[in-house]
Amino acid sequence: MLPDQHILRIPGPSPIPPSVERAMAQPMIGHRGQETKDLLATIRPRLKPVFGTEQEVMIVTGSGTSGLETAVVNTVEPGDEVLVVVTGAFGDRFAKICEAYQIRTHRMEVEWGSAATPEDVKQFLETHSGIKAVFATYCETSTGILNPIRDIAKVVQDTSDALVIVDGVSCVGGVQTRMDDWGIDVLVTGSQKALMLPAGLTFISVSDRAWQVIDSNKQPRFYLDLRKYRDSLEKNATPFTPGLSLLFGLDQVLNLFEEEGLENVYNRHGLMMKMTRQAFRALDIPLLTSDDAASPTVTAVKPEDFAAEDLRKAVKQSFNLSIAGGQQHLQGKIFRIGHMGYCSPADVLQIIGSIEIGLQQIGKNVDLGAGTRAAQQVYLEESR
């Protein structure tokens, strides 16, 4: 193992492309100068296709969680009634943010490892006519599921006047996202996942309908006030000091997306998901989620005859390979592999091969190469 070689395959932060690292190393410029205005003018229209929107995408310097809090504090106020679809730790986080702001929060609890169903959302809304907003997570990182956001948004529109507010932190840039066509009112993502940047930026886009609510919302806010970001962005500026080095990197990330083509980006993520899942099937190690609910950006594995933490330690020690563990009640019961952003099928083969050795090291007798062969076969079949 090389001491300075770290193979990072957790579901965020994700590896950063070398060209993006070089872009972020540019000399600092004045954040109120013309150079920054020009940079934002270049970035603004190119972010829109990633979100699938004609709306502006506002850039807030902060983590993905700051984006979730921004979505809450701008759209609802104390006493409002909301529904939060909880399919894992990050749906739970959305609910906790709402509760912190004294929002009347209904939780729709879904078994971890399963996706929410539009039918359940519809049934809840039919019996709760006062819901102002429905909060949902697109990719639930803690379990590796992808919620059917398009279908959920449709039933919300058909059943109520509630806003549809979506956490897309772990998948926007890695899966097809069509905010306008699907009727999403507020969509949030972060920089450190499929967008291939360090943590530190959150991105938020808002529908016309949601802007009406935001403009009339009496909830106090200052740094997270989306009206400030909207008004500043019209002048190619930000209301507060931006993360300039990250903006340099973002410009290059958008170059990479455009060179590969967004549909090809999405297809690559889908291929890596299939390779990873088929590999563990070949190794006879259970997956947490069904194929229908699986996310293209992260895979959760739930072993039955060995400890997930033992495997994580083994591959870390032997290869400096980092894979993630479980969260909350799944801690110690699952491990998770991130295959998003700056990740390719070749990386998946490396991950699976390393894990096979790690399994042997902890006493799990597997047919070395079986998982790798299965992943290779998926690659060959999908590449025809």
Q: Which residues are annotated as a binding site for substrate?
A: 336
CA distance 118 to 179: 17
Contact 165, 133 (CB under 8 A): yes
Tell me the C-alpha distance between 44 and 233, whole Å: 9
Neighbours of 57 (CB within 10 A): 23
Q: Residue 100's CB: how many other CB atoms inside 10 A? A: 12
User: What does the chain come to in residues?
Assistant: 384
Distance set, CA 34 to CA 23, 41, 250 (Å): 18, 10, 18
Q: Which residues are annotated as a binding site?
A: 336
Report the interhelical angle of 226-233 vs 64-75 (nearest 10°). Answer: 100
| Three-class secondary structure of residue 272 per DSSP | helix
Q: Are 115 and 293 in contact (CB under 8 A)?
A: yes
Q: Report CA 222 to chain centroid distance, whole Å.
A: 26
Phi-psi region of 46 (alpha: psi -120 to 50; beta: other; left: phi over 0): alpha
* Residue 144 vs residues 38, 139, 277: alpha-carbon distances, Å: 38, 7, 11
